[in-house]
Amino acid sequence: MATGLAPAARRVVIEPFVDPPEETLPGQATWYASTCRQCPAGCGIVVRTINGRAKKIEGNPLHPLNQGKLCARGQAGLQVLYNPDRLRNAVRQSGGRGSRKYEPLYWTEALDLLKEKVASLSHPGRLAFLGGLMPDHVYQLTDRLLAALGAAPAVIYDLHSTLEGRGPAQQLSQAFFGTGDLPVYDLAQSDAVFSFGANLFETWMSPVAQSVAFGSMRQGALSGRGFIVQFEPRLSATGASADEWVPVRPGAEGFVALAIGRIIVEERLGHVGSHRDHAVLYQNVDVGEMSAASEVPVDTLRRLAKAFADADRAMAIPGGYLAGQQNGFASMLAVQALNLVVAQIGRQGGVFLSTPAPTVALRNKPRVNPFSDVLNLINRMNAGEVDLLIIHGTNPVYELPAATGFAEAITRVPYVISFSPFVDETAVWADLILPDHTYLESWGYQVPSPGTDRPVISGQQPVVRPLYDTRSTAQVLIDLAARLGGSAAEAIPWAGEETYLQEMITGLYGSSLGAFDARTSAGFWTLWRQYGGWWSEKEIRREPEITDIVQKPLPMSAPQYFGDPEEYPFHLHLYSSIALTDGRGANQPWLQETPDPMTTVQWGMWVELNPQTAESLGVGDDDIVLVESPYSALEVSVVIYPGIRPDVVAIPIGQGHQDYGRFAQAVTGSNPLGLLAPVTDPDADSLAWGATRVRLLPTGRKKKLARLESLDGQGRESIG
Amino acid sequence: MDNTNTLIALFHESTDTAEAIDELHTLGIEDEKMVVITGVPYPKGALGRQLEWLTLPYIVLAGAVAGFLFGLFLAVITPHLYRLDIGGHPPVGFPPAAIIIFVFTMMATIVSTFLGVLWEMNFPRFGPAPYHRLVTAGHLAVLLEYPITLDSQVRQVLESHKAHHIGEPERMAL
Amino acid sequence: MSEASPNQPKHANHPDQMPEFEERLLLAERKDWEINEAVLQPMFKTGRGFWILVAILGAIVLWGLYAWGYLIYWGMGTSGKNRPVYWALFITTFVFWVGISHAGTMISAVLRLLKADWRRPITRGAEAMTAFALLMAGLYPLIHLGRVWKFYWMIPYPNNRFMWPNFQSPLMWDLVAIFTYLIGSSLYLYLALIPDMAMARDYTDGWRFKLYRVLALGWRGTEAEWHKLHRALGIFSVAIIPIFLSVHSIVSWDFAVTVQPRWHSTIFAPYFVIGAVYSGLSALASILIIVRRSMRLQEFLRSEHFDSLGKLVLVAGMAWVYFWFAGFIVEWYGNEPIVRELIHEEVSGRLAPFFYLQMSANVIPIILLVFKRIRTTPVLLLGTTLLVNVGMFTERALIVIGSLQRNDLPFNWGSYRPTWVEISIVAMTFAGFALLYTLFSRIIPFVPVWEIKEGRLRYTLRRIGRLLVPTAAEME
Amino acid sequence: MAKDANQSVEGSIRWALVVDLDRCTGCQACVVACHAENNMQIVGEKEAAYGRWTHWIIIHRYWEGEYPNVKARFMPVMCQQCTEAPCEPVCPVFATYHNEEGLNAQIYNRCIGTRFCGNACPYKVRVYNWFRPEFPEPLAEQLNPDVSIRTRGIIEKCTFCIQRIRRTEIDARAEGRSPADGEIQPACVQTCPTSALLFGDLNDPDSRVSQLAHSHRSFRLLPELGTDPGVIYLKGGEVNV
């Protein structure tokens, strides 16, 4: 492998080094470029390795998406690689499922077992593949294999993309721009951003890219200082960075957007010539009603509408929290429509579309399935229609609301195979675990979605030799195909993962756009690995065309919540922790010890209450309360949180692991998803994870949270 | 010293002792030839003898100077031997230096006083020396050395002042 | 008070009947050898009670040593400290012990210079207290180190690291000052001890004889020896006073030189010194009362001594209040936000209980000590002086721990809970002090015999009207 | 006398860090980057709850106002690298001192753990190793060989990633030049997604850092103490003029 960047130190330390990994000079740092897999954003990274060991992950300065920057999770990637709780070889659960007793297997045995299980299926339909947002090439191989076997395509579900509303966002693009590619919001050049529940700088979509853009939007040279208004029931870290926070009733964000649009159109605000063709959108919107429903005063709406319309490059962003409501899709439409009203679609500082991969071969990406597909799968499992369940890159037992009954369903499946490198809550129910490499040991590529201002493909390569006797899932699938022979072998003719990738990637060779060019396709392959991917050297933005959806009035649907308001007075507002995201980070001590930006709590989980709410309940900081929903209940310590609506209580997602390693299990608490009702947004067919109501009961007990801040200090900057 | 004789005599009471000493003086026995041993410190001249001159103060002074110089070395010289800058302070600041110098001066003063006084009394001295246990019981002992020729007068003088236990001093290991 | 001096009841009934008479002519009717006996006898009597006491104290000390080992092995984390309370119980107790150590020199040196005659019987007890309290105090700079096995890096000597310690650090001043004071006070104690060692030598045999013989260094009591001893003691009493003043000033500067709110104060040095004297004198009074009882020394340690001691404590107490107030009013009036916060914490916040304990335990004794009855009744005096030391300990805790919990950035505030390790180690030093003192009292004549005898020389009776009045001769 | 054998740069450099509070989103990337670069120990929930975490950089979060008009602000606080550092003179063994480049250096193997500097520091950015650090296998593989691991009983703090400064200086010297402005990047600066952190030489009038230091938004933490910090904050909510 060629080194990505210049070696860091010129001094060579002489030390005994018996069996040096290839291409390492003892004591000398070597940098390898690859792609971060801590979340689906696909940021480029460079990894500093010394003596064949990865030592530090940094952003790839050449990569157009994250431009050398990286988030907390990306920095912590080393602890996925070096996690003490990793599986070190293929294992079979000797004591039966859930016994947590494992016996190691040779890979040949394991593969034979796998092949035999697949081959012995009475009907290919009885095979189910449940996946997360896996690297593109793994998905393609899976796809080819399943197709060849005549089995149903993989069902893609993972909590992170659910929380960021990826599915609904794709359908929104579909409805609005007639394509499934996600929109790219040009934050950097916008000067007025209305973010409706989009936690731009935490976990939503491509947080690093958005943060980089935010930096230049705030203090960038060209544009003046742009401002952000955040509409959400709970002040998120993004809201804290915004200039104004508008606490909206959960699910009423759409109403605010409608009201703002209506005001702009009817009062002819802003500099966009005529609003006549938008009038139809808002013809049956009544600002008063909207204000009442969203509990945002009319004059606030009017002020914001004016600010939005008067801005040169205003932009509204429909975020992930909207998708968590049963009227989520309607709300997102309403928000997206605002960009139309200020004519910011396809304009600088407005909305663009992700550019797809230049070659068709690269375009087949995993896409989040409608939630009904997941429920379907669960029903089939319950009905005993699934004989073999294969799981990759997702942890449904943890990531699905307990109410969906996945945990019971999986016990009804005769044989379960997991590719997880860790024994997580789902892998515990697998008979056979074929641990995948961690991403720092793996090959791969990924077309970031959402993308950026140009075509990008992030390349992934091993930066260290695999630590243990694990095997990349792509390779396993290729081996499986070979073992199965027949149509499968024809569908997947490649000898190995690397050759497959090389074939896919060198398809780009000779493209005129590329930031680098090589004489031979082999040279291209080398440069690809040195750069850590391929991208156009100059900006190519993709302007969307708007569909005819904008010819009819925008849908208006009132939010519905599960749970009787009398019995369950509070809205449960789950949010993904900035460090642990959907719980994947929970096994990394660095991320566990990272303080939550808003509450400064390390480790631990908590529930956030508005001061008056806490007062009415007679609880204070660190008091344990019982949070009870119609489905289940959990005990958790209280954080008094000034930035949340009195009728909303918020719990971060990510803790409450039963398995998944010592660091994840070190934190007491139970998975907040257990509280959720399995309700969905019918329009987007996605899980409405924000629509459950709860009640709180003080327990009289206390548990001190590991706060960074002193409670005595009362969050003051100084005692002036 | 065959022509001299040493005697120890114990007295109950200081006045007698003083008078006896005076008369012994008149017999021509100098102060140096007499040693008075008491269990109580009698004030200067109470027993009619002048006191010798002490070098102790000079020893102490010397010690103090030495201490001062050592303190000076530590506080002023050592910072320059391995120069490390600290928080905007000069390598040598007056107040800290003053403290260090002062303390070491005092330490040396104390120690030299102690050693000095031991030296003057040439202590420790455990060898056998003329002494009588009754001293600590409140008696005053007079140890004197005189020519044998005066023997009778001396004894007579002592007895006349109610001296008892007159005789060869027993040299006991102290 | 049956075991109090036989004269007690008498002047309780009719105080105007020549009370001075018997008291001043201390043991007039006694022979020297009787005094010797009276002092030596209690030393030889070590009853069961004594050994039980030694056993208990020894046990506590051993437990404390285990705790210390535990602390060293597992790390400072086993103590209750945290950020920002980096100093806590250890430093508090350190300051407390240094304070206790001050009365000893105060009594013997200052009073010796002033020729205050009533000091004579109590000087040795006082000096011993100084030495032992300092030994205990000296442990803490070691105990509180994170890497105690590297403590010698603070010692100035030419070494392979080419490093000299930083003499600008108050901790270095501490180190040398306390070392000096320890040397000074122990030599001072020993020097005045030599004649009594000789006396004890003449009265004992066996191991005691061997011991005393060595310690007496061959003292005979010739005029020359007495003369030199007097000179040496004279020099000592002058030299030791500035040292004892400097030591506690330096301890106070450990705190005052930082920018930590409420530590950063110019009045700290005198405030600490006077506080030290206050607590030290009280401790001395308590100890004397206990020893007097346990060793039957009523004849030597008489109510007149406690009376004068009480008066000294009273004065020191008032001075302490004055300095406390002088500091407090400025802080209160300046009304600097963080200082205001800290004062609020003390007066009506979480620290209030400690604050009021401190104030009452330090002020009530002053009122009590106004009454001669209290000063001269051992049990009452004992209670009062113990109360003072409770107050002074609390005061130190408030200064060290209380202040550190707050600083200029509210985000960084903190709190502190002591652990069993810290408490055991603190207990160890208290037990250790008591143990050393107990053993000391059985080996060394607790009353300086020769000084008492010397004192007797100075008095004659003189008839004034119908009153026999003792008159002291002015002599040295 | 091996005086400053490690000192590679002569002349008057003063390293400084600019923290633009208008850009900071409190995302904690700098915190983890710092952990990854500097081998701090992980203390676990119980110890962290008792104020014994070892972060070299912590992001203060301040609340302002009452619901619904409530605002939260972030302020990253790391060692301020004061010129008039209160922590330096109080150390009895010179474990912390001031180096030629204006850094407040902490010499771990010289520290004996009096914690005096921790008390003297008004910003309370000095953290203590209360227990032995533990890295369950194979987590120890992550350790950065350029940074020593601190044992129990000693104080540690932000060093401005002095090892990275040195590395860049050595490289630059090998190429016969001095490091360019912005070439040296402490781990936090390198990773900060919004570029809220900026590192450079305050004594070089052309460096971005010293220009921003003169911006009307710039202020120092606790200026009244006269510690003259090397960390310059830029007030949020305004544009540069």
Q: Determine the Cα–Cα distance for residues A46 and A54; give it in Å rounded to an integer.
A: 10
pLDDT of residue D60: 96
Pairing of strands A183-185, A351-353: antiparallel
* pLDDT exceeds 90 at position A413: yes
pLDDT of residue B50: 67
Residue that is written with structure tokens 């060779």 in the block:
A509
Partner-chain residue, chosen from D1, D86, D99, that has the shortest CB–CB distance to B87: D86
Question: pLDDT tens-digit profile of A131-148?
Answer: 998 899 999 999 999 999
Q: SS3 letters for A5-60?
A: ECCCCCCCCCCCCCCCCCCCCCCCEEEEEEECCCCCCCCEEEEEEECCEEEEEEEC
Q: Of C94, C97, C91, C127, give the one whose Cα is nearest residue C109.
A: C127
The answer, for A215 touching chain D at a CB cutoff of 8 Å, is: yes
The answer, for A713 touching chain C at a CB cutoff of 8 Å, is: yes
Q: Determine the Cα–Cα distance for residues C325 and D206; give it in Å rounded to an integer.
A: 54
Mean pLDDT of A662-690: 93
Q: How many CA atoms lie within 13 A of C16 on its CB side?
A: 1
Q: Is A346 helix (H, G, I), strand (E, B) or coil?
A: coil
* pLDDT exceeds 80 at position A273: no
Q: What is the mean pLDDT of chain A?
A: 91
At C279, list the tokens: 């607590």
CB atoms within 10 A of CB C19: 15
**Could you give the percent of chain A with pLDDT greater than 70?**
96
Q: Of D217, D209, D212, give the one whose Cα is nearest residue D236.
A: D217
pLDDT of residue A591: 96
Q: Of C170, C94, C191, C173, give the one whose Cα is nearest residue C135.
A: C94
For chains D and C, having 3+ Cβ pairs within 8 Å is answered yes
Q: Determine the Cα–Cα distance for residues D183 and D217; give it in Å rounded to an integer.
A: 24
Residue that is written with structure tokens 């009021």 in the block:
C356
Cβ within 8 Å of D, A 114-153: none
ipTM: 0.91
**Could you give the percent of chain D with pLDDT greater than 70?**
94
Partner-chain residue, chosen from C231, C246, C454, that has the shortest CB–CB distance to B103: C246
Structural domain of D100: 15-234
The answer, for D31 touching chain A at a CB cutoff of 8 Å, is: yes
Question: pLDDT tens-digit profile of A332-375?
Answer: 999 999 999 999 999 999 999 999 888 888 888 889 999 999 99
Q: Phi, psi at residue A393, to the nearest 5°? A: 70, 15
Q: Which residue of chain C is at minimal alpha-carbon distance from A718?
A: C409
Q: Phi, psi at residue A309, to the nearest 5°? A: -70, -35
CA A425 to the chain's CA centroid? 19
Q: Of A477, A435, A485, give the one whose Cα is nearest residue A129.
A: A477
Q: Is A195 helix (H, G, I), strand (E, B) or coil?
A: strand
Question: pLDDT tens-digit profile of A38-93?
Answer: 999 999 999 999 988 999 999 999 999 999 999 999 999 999 999 999 999 999 99
Q: Is D174 helix (H, G, I), strand (E, B) or coil?
A: helix
Peptide bond into C84 cis (omega under 30): yes
Q: Of D156, D240, D234, give the one whose Cα is nearest residue D198.
A: D234
Pairing of strands A601-602, A706-707: antiparallel
Q: Please name the chains neighbouring D, where neighbouring means 3+ C-beta pairs under 8 angstroms.
A: A, B, C
pLDDT of residue D2: 39
pLDDT of residue B131: 84
Contact C320, C278 (CB under 8 A): yes
Q: Of C103, C175, C108, C89, give the one whose Cα is nearest residue C133.
A: C103
pLDDT of residue B83: 87
CA A184 to the chain's CA centroid? 16
Put simply, the answer to whether C218 touches B123 (Cβ < 8 Å) is yes
Q: Of D100, D89, D229, give the one whose Cα is nearest residue B93.
A: D89
Q: State the smallest CA–CA distance between residue B108 and chain D in angstroms.
A: 23
CA A261 to the chain's CA centroid? 30
Q: Determine the Cα–Cα distance for residues A189 and C255; give it in Å rounded to an integer.
A: 54
Split at pLDDT 50, 70, 90, the class of D176 is very high
- Identify how many contiguous H helices and E strands chain A contains and give both numbers: 24, 29
In this prediction the pTM is 0.92
Q: Residue D174: list chain A partners with CB under 8 A.
A: 10
Q: How many CA atoms lie within 13 A of C132 on its CB side?
A: 23
pLDDT of residue A3: 40
For chains C and B, having 3+ Cβ pairs within 8 Å is answered yes
Q: Of C295, C17, C168, give the one whose Cα is nearest residue D92.
A: C168
Split at pLDDT 50, 70, 90, the class of A494 is very high
Contact C403, C261 (CB under 8 A): yes
Q: Is C51 exposed, middle or buried (0-12, 13-18, 19+ CB in 10 A)?
A: exposed
Q: Is C41 helix (H, G, I), strand (E, B) or coil?
A: helix
Put simply, the answer to whether B89 touches D89 (Cβ < 8 Å) is yes
pLDDT higher for A552 or A500?
A: A500
Query: In total, how many domains does chain D have?
Result: 1
H or E, element range at A155? strand A155-156
At B172, list the tokens: 């006991």
Q: Cα separations (Å) of A558 from A251, A289, B130?
A: 8, 11, 118
Q: State the smallest CA–CA distance between residue A642 and chain D in angstroms.
A: 6
**For chain A, what is the radius of gyration of the CA atoms?**
25
Q: What is the pLDDT along chain C (476 residues), one digit of tens a residue?
A: 333 333 333 333 343 443 344 444 455 567 778 888 888 888 887 788 889 999 999 999 999 999 999 999 999 999 999 999 999 999 999 999 999 998 888 888 888 888 887 888 888 999 999 999 999 999 999 999 999 999 999 999 888 888 899 999 999 999 999 999 999 999 999 999 999 998 888 888 888 888 998 898 888 888 888 888 988 999 999 999 999 899 999 999 999 999 999 999 999 999 999 999 999 999 999 999 998 888 888 878 888 889 989 999 999 999 999 999 999 999 999 988 899 999 999 999 999 999 999 999 999 999 999 999 999 889 999 999 999 999 999 999 999 999 999 999 999 999 999 999 999 999 999 999 999 999 998 899 888 888 888 887 777 777 777 777 777 766 55
Q: Determine the Cα–Cα distance for residues C427 and C434; give it in Å rounded to an integer.
A: 11
Q: How many CA atoms lie within 13 A of C380 on its CB side?
A: 18
The answer, for D182 touching chain B at a CB cutoff of 8 Å, is: no
Q: Of D39, D114, C338, D125, give the one whose Cα is nearest residue A708.
A: D125
Contact A78, D142 (CB under 8 A): yes
Question: pLDDT tens-digit profile of D51-104?
Answer: 999 999 999 999 999 988 999 999 999 999 999 999 999 999 999 999 988 899
Mean pLDDT of A690-714: 94
**Residues facing C19 on adjacent strands:** none
Cα dihedral A645, A646, A649, A652 sign? positive
Put simply, the answer to whether D23 touches A219 (Cβ < 8 Å) is yes
pLDDT of residue C24: 45
Contact C294, C303 (CB under 8 A): no
pLDDT of residue A221: 58
Q: Is B11 helix (H, G, I), strand (E, B) or coil?
A: strand
**Could you give the percent of chain A with pLDDT greater than 90?**
81
Residues 6+ apart with CB under 8 A from A17: A26, A51
Q: Phi, psi at residue A524, to the nearest 5°? A: -60, -45
Contact C377, C367 (CB under 8 A): no
Q: State the smallest CA–CA distance between residue A438 and chain D in angstroms.
A: 14
Mutate to test the interface with B, among D79, D83, D98, D117 (most CBs of B within 10 A): D98
DSSP A553-585: PPP------BS-TTT--EEEEEEEBTTTBTTGG
D69 inside domain: yes
CATH code, domain with D202: 3.30.70.20
Q: Of C472, C309, C468, C376, give the one whose Cα is nearest residue C11.
A: C376
D9 inside domain: no
Question: pLDDT tens-digit profile of D97-136?
Answer: 999 888 999 999 999 999 999 999 999 999 999 999 999 9
pLDDT of residue A52: 86
Residue ranges and CATH numbers for the domains of chain C are: 19-472 (1.20.1630.10)
CB atoms within 10 A of CB B98: 12
D136 inside domain: yes
Spatial strand order of the sheet with A388-392 comes to A102-104, A91-93, A432-433, A415-418, A388-392, A127-131, A155-156
At B2, list the tokens: 């065959």
Q: Which residue of chain B is at minimal alpha-carbon distance from C229?
A: B117
At B44, list the tokens: 């200067």
Percent helix, strand and coil across chain D, each to the nearest 5:
25, 15, 60
Q: State the smallest CA–CA distance between residue D38 and chain A in angstroms.
A: 10
pLDDT of residue C16: 42
| Residue ranges in chain B modelled with pLDDT below 70 | 1-2, 48-51, 174
Q: Is C63 exposed, middle or buried (0-12, 13-18, 19+ CB in 10 A)?
A: middle
Split at pLDDT 50, 70, 90, the class of A5 is very low
